[in-house]
Amino acid sequence: MGSSGVARLQGLFAVYKPPGLKWLHLRETVELQLLKGLNAGKPRAPEQRVRFLLGPVEGSEEKKLTLTATSVPTLTTHRLMRGPAFTSLKIGVGHRLDVQASGVLVLGVGHGCRLLTYMYHAHLTKDYTVRGLLGKATDDFCEDGRLVEKTIYGHVTREKLDRILAVIQGSHQKALVTYSNLDLKSQEAYEMAVQGTIRPMNKSPMLITGIRCLYFAPPEFLIEVQCMHETQQQLRKLVHEIGLELKTTAVCMQVRRTRDGLFTLDDALLRTQWNLHSIQDAIQTAAPRVAAELERNLRRQEYIADQTAKTQVREREGTHRTQQSHKTDSLNRGPKTKKDQAEKCRRGD
């Protein structure tokens, strides 16, 4: 039971992190619960070992002694002698969430920790819902921070907010293309841009691929942000900056991640479901999707590597051709016209 339990416990799954819980505590709680489940399996049958014992020969009248091999029960492998079968598990955490943020948190168990690295290098976008409150400014952009300023917000309308969000999205769109290091002059890059799948595949500052307002009832508003390479504090700063653009101030009340790569809220497990069986089922359900996504991203990365290699080759070839032409000119000191040739013969070379 234990061995098959651990065999099914390899892969990625998503957990809903509640606000106020540190991600490290969450990881330790999940580890404890999994260990509890694994150690609760039925105990092993008592083992035996072979001993050579002295005893009388069977079927003989004399008192002859001989050594016979017998199975004797042994207690060395008893559960009370060896302790619990599982004492630790390798559990990795994907993109972290800070204490006040909540939402989907991807964890990897066993061999799934390797998949976490692949998912990181796939540079997928994440979805957040950010709740803001107009009229206040605090030092750490949170509602319970030290108050710095209070402003009026009566002049703020939905249209103004939408306009500002569109401006933000536009500026980040340009940055996306810049940081992606793709030569837009190529056909393939153009097609990717048309489809909207251009994004940087290495380190870059926070980039917003999409932002829109879901709900506006002053002083509260709710925006949905699709971004990559972000931290939650940067999202809170974004709310503050939106407030400044609207000529008022705003603080962030809630940052909640609704999607991390391909794990959505539906895949996330709640606190009551942090046990062995639910996690095993979640891993099994997510496994094919994860494999497909990584496959796709692997192909994309190969394609991009191909692209960059091609552009480099083209550049190198270009310089080489110009160099080649110079070389042939210098070598070709032979007569270019008949007149020269005649001149050459006349000179007697």
Partner 1 sequence: MLALNFLQSFCLSLPGTGITGYFKKKMALIAQQIPRWFHTIKLSSFIKAAQLIKHSVWPGKILLNGVSAQALLPSDNCFLQWGFKTFRTSSSWTSSQSAKSSRQESSSPTQSSLLPSMSEQSEKIPSFHSELPLEELDDLPSVSPLQQISEEEAIQIIAHPPLPPASFTLGDYVDHSETLQKLVHLGVDLSKIEKHPDAANLLLRLDFEKDIKQILLFLKDLGLEDNQLGTFLTKNYAIFSEDLENLKIRVAYLQSKNFSKANITQMVSNAPFLLNFSVERLDNRLGFFQQELELSVKKTRDLVVRLPRLLTGSLEPVKENLKVYRLELGFKRNEIQHMITRIPKMLTANKKKLTETFDYVHNVMSIPHHVIVKFPQVFNTRLFKVKERHLFLTYLGRAQYDPAKPNYISLDKLVSIPDEVFCKEIAKASVKDFEKFLKTL
Nearest approach, Cβ of residue 160 and partner 1 (Å):
27
Nearest approach, Cβ of residue 76 and partner 1 (Å):
4
217 contacts partner 1 (rule: CB under 8 A): no
**Residue (66 or 202) nearer to partner 1, CB:** 66
Q: 98, 183, 266, 306: which one is catalytic?
A: 98
Whether the bond into 19 is cis, omega within 30 of 0:
no
Nearest approach, Cβ of residue 47 and partner 1 (Å):
11
- Number of residues assigned to the chain: 349
**Residue (268 or 283) nearer to partner 1, CB:** 268
Alpha carbons 80 and 170: distance in angstroms, whole number = 65
Residues between 77 and 116 that touch partner 1 (CB under 8 A): 77-78, 80-83, 102
φ, ψ dihedrals at 232, nearest 5°: -65, -30
Alpha carbons 161 and 132: distance in angstroms, whole number = 12
2 contacts partner 1 (rule: CB under 8 A): no
Strands (DSSP E) found in the chain: 11-17, 48-56, 65-73, 91-93, 102-109, 126-134, 136-138, 147-150, 207-217, 220-228, 250-260, 263-264
20 contacts partner 1 (rule: CB under 8 A): yes
Of 28, 26, 31, the residue nearest 15 (C-alpha): 26
Q: For partner 1, what does the binding mask look like between residues 319 and 348, x meaning CB under 8 A?
A: ------------------------------
Stretch of residues binding partner 1 (CB under 8 A), selected from 24-32, 136-144, 148-156, 264-272: 264-272
Alpha carbons 92 and 144: distance in angstroms, whole number = 31
**Residue (77 or 324) nearer to partner 1, CB:** 77
Nearest approach, Cβ of residue 283 and partner 1 (Å):
20
**Residue (188 or 281) nearer to partner 1, CB:** 281
Please give the angle made by the CA atoms of 127, 129 and 132, to the nearest 5 degrees.
Answer: 145
**Residue (77 or 171) nearer to partner 1, CB:** 77
Nearest approach, Cβ of residue 42 and partner 1 (Å):
17
* Residue 162 CA to its chain's centroid (Å): 30
Residues between 32 and 71 that touch partner 1 (CB under 8 A): 54, 64-67
The helix (H) or strand (E) run that includes residue 9 is none
Residues between 105 and 164 that touch partner 1 (CB under 8 A): none
Alpha carbons 60 and 80: distance in angstroms, whole number = 42
- State the burial class of residue 161 (Cβ atoms within 10 Å of its Cβ: 0-12, 13-18, 19+): buried
* Residue whose token pair is 């980040």: 172
Q: Supply 238's token pair.
A: 């974004």
- The residue from 1, 7, 18, 291 that contacts partner 1 (CB under 8 A) is 18
Alpha carbons 106 and 96: distance in angstroms, whole number = 8
Nearest approach, Cβ of residue 237 and partner 1 (Å):
23
98 is catalytic: yes
Count CB neighbours of 43 within 10 A: 12
The DSSP code sequence of 263-312 is: EETTTPBPGGG-SHHHHHHHHHHHHHHHHHHHHHHHHHHHHHHHHHHHHH
Nearest approach, Cβ of residue 63 and partner 1 (Å):
10
16 contacts partner 1 (rule: CB under 8 A): yes
24 contacts partner 1 (rule: CB under 8 A): no
240 contacts partner 1 (rule: CB under 8 A): no
Stretch of residues binding partner 1 (CB under 8 A), selected from 76-84, 107-115, 237-245, 310-318: 76-84
- The residue from 76, 319, 323, 328 that contacts partner 1 (CB under 8 A) is 76
Residues of the shown chain interacting with partner 1 in the complex, contacts defined by CB under 8 A: 16, 18-21, 54, 64-67, 74-78, 80-83, 102, 256, 265, 268, 270-272
Which residues are identified as catalytic?
98
